[in-house]
Amino acid sequence: MQQTSIAHPYLDAARTILPEVIALRRRLHRVPEVGLQLPRTQALVLDAVRGLGLDPVAGTTVASVVATIEGAGPGPTILLRADMDALPLIEETALDFASEHVGQMHACGHDTHVAMLMGAARLLLDDRASWHGRVLLMFQPGEEGFHGARYMLEEGLLDQSGGERPSGAFALHISTLYETGTIDVRPGPMLASGDTLRITVRGRGGHASAPHTAVDPIAVAAEIVLALELMVTRRVDAFDPAVVTIAQFVAGTTTNIIPETAFLAGTMRTVSAARREAVKADVRRVCDGIAAAHGATVELEIEPGYPVTVNDDAFAALVLDVAREVLGEEQTRLLPAPIMGAEDFSYVLEEVPGAMAFVGARPPEVDPATAPMNHSNKVIFDESAMAAGIATYVGVARRFLSGG
């Protein structure tokens, strides 16, 4: 599907400023930084926010940026979020604005998120005489596993607007899963929780020629891997799903030694808090039971990751309605199921009713079956899709501030 030629004031305005938005995105793309401290990225964002005539506030414990846009008079506050951090990858896109930081890349499109939100902020500022309330701009580091949103909340993010705390929150995430220029959203669970599993099996080492004199942790660990797969298919309701993936298996030093230990690591994902707790208990039971059956011991660590990202039903309906109005029916999708990736915007949505939506950015000439996805070091986003993202940010904010 190609982008439609629908005309709407927000979309037209977004297309007008798109060259400047693209230029900012490319500046950010060249200097990706990983984690919670992003000095060059933060400096670029601070300069861009000041360039809009706003007074940004830099984070004290993490490299965040917060700013507030005041409307024409009193009203509610909406939070709009963009994440800023990159991933530890060596970029292989051959773009002329590719990463200058070897081993770091904006492979999840966070550079486009910052640029889109900055574009939306400009349009909201240009027209602020016609709306009431406040827009709280949240530029956050550390989304890629570093809990950046949680740190910002602990710093008092929701009280930084200078007025009423946000009563709505919205974020966009770019993706090559979807056709360029589409907005894709659903009510309820949007993305999964994500916890890390680390399993150490301890047996008794020995000579590979006499396994009966040892307790082989490799065999026990292998059985645990298979049992976890079976556990998901037989213990988990298909309509309240879970994904348990063991992605690392380390054991042994050579061919003729049964080692003392084997190490497994992986991820556990669910789309409800109840299922999350149930799967944790099931994983522990499987590990303990299999180890005990073979005379081994097991140490299980479950490192909590992000909660389930749950879209508020009414806010998701607002996003869908705005996207249909601004972009057209063909460019708006109600997703049939959650995505099993995880997002730390979930922390914000635990505090404020709101939603996250995807903006499609798969280049139209790319085969959907082979298009590099987010987190690939070859991923390329169609920059024209950012106009749809800007217009959606503006439309959602304006609709929310007008009372729906």
| Whether pLDDT at 258 is above 70 | yes
For position 2, what pLDDT does the model report?
Answer: 44
Alpha helices in 31-146 (DSSP H): 39-51, 110-126
Please state the rounded mean pLDDT for residues 89-104: 96
With bands split at pLDDT 50, 70 and 90, how would you rate the model's confidence at 7? confident
Contacts of 287 (CB under 8 A, 6+ apart): 199, 224, 298, 300
| Whether pLDDT at 277 is above 90 | yes
109 closest CA partner among 78, 79, 87, 132 = 87
| Whether pLDDT at 332 is above 90 | yes
Q: Is 383 a catalytic residue?
A: yes
Q: Name the CATH topology of 9-190+308-401.
A: Aminopeptidase (3.40.630)
| Whether pLDDT at 160 is above 70 | yes
250 closest CA partner among 300, 296, 292, 198 = 198
Q: Which of 144, 179, 343, 383 is catalytic?
A: 383
Rounded CA-CA distance 71/303 in Å is 42
Is 6 or 39 the better-scoring residue by pLDDT? Answer: 39
Please state the rounded mean pLDDT for residues 359-380: 95
Average pLDDT, the chain: 96
Question: Could you state, in order of their start, the residue ranges of all structural domains in the chain?
Answer: 9-190+308-401, 194-306
For position 384, what pLDDT does the model report?
Answer: 97
Please state the rounded mean pLDDT for residues 203-212: 97
Fold match between 9-190+308-401 and 194-306? no
For position 1, what pLDDT does the model report?
Answer: 40
H-run or E-run covering 284: helix 273-293
With bands split at pLDDT 50, 70 and 90, how would you rate the model's confidence at 404? low
For position 162, what pLDDT does the model report?
Answer: 80
Q: Name the CATH topology of 194-306.
A: Alpha-Beta Plaits (3.30.70)
| Whether pLDDT at 40 is above 50 | yes
Rounded CA-CA distance 172/266 in Å is 27
SS3 content of the chain, % helix, strand, coil (to 5): 40, 25, 35
Please state the rounded mean pLDDT for residues 325-350: 96
Rounded CA-CA distance 78/291 in Å is 51
For position 15, what pLDDT does the model report?
Answer: 97
| Whether pLDDT at 243 is above 70 | yes
Q: Which of 306, 343, 347, 393 is catalytic?
A: 306
Token representation of residue 198: 């680390």
Rounded CA-CA distance 324/248 in Å is 44
Pairing status of strand 194-202 against strand 242-251:
unpaired
Pairing status of strand 134-140 against strand 168-179:
unpaired
H-run or E-run covering 362: strand 354-362
Strands (DSSP E) contained in 3-76 are 57-58, 65-70
Rounded CA-CA distance 160/68 in Å is 8
Strands (DSSP E) contained in 211-273 are 242-251, 257-258, 261-270
| Whether pLDDT at 350 is above 80 | yes
For position 5, what pLDDT does the model report?
Answer: 57
